[in-house]
Amino acid sequence: MIVLLAIGPTATVLSYDLADNGFQVIDIGHLDVEYQWYLMQAKKKTPLENRTVNEVSDSQFNKIANYNQFKILGGIE
């Protein structure tokens, strides 16, 4: 049986546990983002239109957060 996971950081731990119990596991959490970059023939991780991509610099996140009227309380340096 193959199990597909897309549950954030939890997928790594759960994948290990499931594999340890005989399951085949694939973490597809960022597959859609990676596919979009493939279609764009991107050479580096770039922002995607109408998407929040946590792998892109925080300056892009700030633009999205301001657009959606979220208030950023602080950051970690």
DSSP 8-class letter at 7: -
The one-letter amino acid at 27: D
Give residue-wise pLDDT tens across range 20-67: 999 999 988 888 888 999 999 989 888 887 777 777 765 555 555 555
> Distance between CA 30 and CA 16 in Å, rounded?
18
pTM: 0.56
pLDDT, tens only, 5-32: 988 888 888 999 999 999 999 988 888 8
Residue identified by tokens 């991780």 is 45
d(CA 6, CA 63): 26
Listed in sequence order, the residues at least 6 apart from 25 whose beta carbon sits closer than 8 Å to its beta carbon are 2, 3, 4, 5, 14, 15, 18, 19
For 44, the 3-state DSSP assignment is coil
